[in-house]
Structure 1
Amino acid sequence: MTESRPRLLLVGLDRYTLDACVRLGVDAVVICGSATWDDGLVSIPPELTVIRVDDQVSVEAVLMALHRSGLGADDFDAVHTSDEYSMVTAGMLARHLGLPGLDPQTAVRFRDKSVQKAAVRSAGLPAARCVVVEDVFSVSDLHELPFEPAVLKPVAGAATALTSSVRTIDDLRARSEEYRRNKTGQRTFVLEEHVVGDEWFVDGIVFEGELLFLAVGSYGDPCLTAIESGEPLWLRHFDPVGEGWAYEKARGLVGAALGALGLRDGSFHMELFHDAPSGTLTFGECAARRGGALIHEQIQAKFGVNIAECAVEIALGRRPRIDAKVSPDVFGGCYLPGRPGTLLGCPTAADLLALDQVRFARIEHPVGTPFPAGPAHTSQRVGQFMVVAESIEQLTGRFEEVRQWFDERLWVLPDGLTTRGKRDFQREWRPDADFGDTLWR
């Protein structure tokens, strides 16, 4: 008798989760929202079933789509998502359908930053204090900052979007006016105590409360610093042999924080702040999914571990088999920033891969994409690339060389040009362009 294949209800598109389902022989039904579908960056394997919805974060939209498709609890073994914004949605679906999945209350602790910090601090762990701003459009009732300096961020955001430093009450009022003027969709924010130190990140796998794997790394600059300075974000992983002290320091806080937040099964991405002079480590934030950027690719290159595949196995109730093989090389990822204006052309991923030491590259935006003046969040980039090196110094030097090479071949039509200015730009971009009358030449 042939054993039936497991069936998984997936909310949202994630290239490595989809690939893991195909390789593991999982019959996945993928819920895809309109925004993700229209973006088109992630290809959906033909082996998987796609159900399109207006909004994949809406429980109502997903349930209606499942009913239209004639699917119910009996058609699935579990519910899973790798999408930050769909965590609570997936938890609610799992509970409603009576299927294994992230508990909704646990999901809330991983989405709401105020709830998260309260849970971590209640467990006696070091974390920033925070105050909820119910409506960032109206801060007139605040006459002074609860912390100076403070960090203002959405209560349930991601990718450092709409996050900024505020040093005075006037800074807060100016930010409030900006968000009101721009009709910002998110209005519930938090003001957090500013924590100093290098920003670390930890990605790992936990099963039945046991920490099976973790990879610790560091951003070149804290995410908020990179955003405010306009410098491209870069990150690399610590070596568990040569830099084992970082793993020893992080492991205890990571385990205790996961326990306080209630995550017993799945993957996670945690950010910590390390104050080198004092040696202290402070909890920053945590998500119940692996990290973004090129963290997945770096972990595969450095450790030989596929975190997305582990997460799918755990969603199906299986203990993943993890056989980490650590490479002695230094692996790091770096963003390829754009320039204000409209993207007209840039090197391809294949062009980048042809460069020495580049091991992975992804161009994420097509021709015609507009880029505003100044980065607004860590996802605002043309693409990313990963470098392998023998030392941190060689890694950062190669980052700079590749970024410069890319920028020299990046063509962006600046905003605000007159028609004459656009003609001049085209003559530079395409020297063969000719706007004259060639009849009498």
Structure 2
Amino acid sequence: MLDTETSAALLTPQRPSLQPRALLRELFDTAVASVSASHCLPPHLPQPPKGRTVVIGAGKAAAAMAQAVEAHWQGELSGLVVTRYGHGADCKRIEVVEAAHPVPDEAGARAAQRMVELVQGLTADDLVLCLISGGGSALLAAPAPGISLADKQAVNKALLRSGASIGEMNCVRKHLSALKGGRLALHCAPARVETLLISDIPGDDPTLIASGPTLPDATTCADALAVIAKYGIDVPANVRAHLESGAGETPKPGDARFEGHRSATLATAQQSLEAAAARARELGFEAHILSDCIEGEARDVALVHAAIARQIAQHGQPFSKPCVLLSGGETTVTVRGKGRGGRNAEFLLSLAVALDALPGVHAIACDTDGIDGSEDNAGALLTPDTLTRAAARGLSARAHLENNDGYGFFAGVDDLIVTEPTRTNVNDFRAILIV
């Protein structure tokens, strides 16, 4: 069995002293830097309008995006964005409000109302620059008439525990909101709306990012009801009545009220994976991107990754080692246990069980926003000796997986990765090093 030191000896001659865990962390850091707002936003800024420019926005990257706008905008500027607690940035002309994620709170509701007030009374000569990134669905909390914030919180919590995909969750959220699914753009009329997006959605559909507050929506109330039925979610009676009556219907593609508006996606999971692949090749490794849009149960996705890694390690197929496998997307976790842990920790825990200490295989799985689910870590690292070290401390990988306790397991072997908020968000980053 190869230990960490022996594996390191097989690493690139360009960086012979670089340990596997340091290499994997470098690939993650490279991926995050490539999709930072300061890097990707400035080339997409529109020309200043004849009239006013009002900036609004929501998401985990919203404050960093606002900061980048301020640094590069020529002319008058004002506005307000809302981001997650701890994800703020030092802005001078655009106010930054922090609120709760993934379950909305009163701070987000107040920020949403103030945003609507800011865009009232604009003219056709004015520009609304909307900065949207993942997390905006919870942060831009504006319940539809007849639905309370408590109702939305209850539905949101149930969706998060159900195993529903991000697209399914956002379908429901759109139809319970006064602003999502294009409704925020309607409040900006007659001003032109330009939306800049950092995508956390597998497939990068802009109408799903933060539930598309400024873009028309093709989904329906019937679709939202189908999601609720699929996952057996018990919603309040007034929520069900709202959807069944069609009162929550959203403006659709082709609606003339969106004419002249524009949107641009600035950063995606694919960009982050390509940056990491380029860095791996610079260090002497072949790098292979499996997919930028993997969805499904984190523990099941791990089984597929484990099978590919094992085939490479034992048979040199479909790729030769040493190499790095990269993937992104957004997995889900159906919560059945009572442990702590986000989807990336769950992925790695399942990977550890499936690989069963396979020599020469190291892995990292992190959320690019620096927060794995609702914990304080971005993700974790896995090495060939993880299970051995865990057993020496009385930790069972299988038991922790059964309890959805990836955080507890990797904390117990000192392999959590803590970055603090990165202020960007293109979802999961996974890299498996096979040497």
Q: Rg bigger for which structure?
A: 1
Q: Which has the higher contact order (CA 8 A, sep 6+)?
A: 2
Please identify which structure carries the higher helix content.
2
TM-score exceeds 0.5 = no
After TM superposition, the score normalised by the length of structure 2 is 0.31
Please identify which structure carries the higher strand content.
1
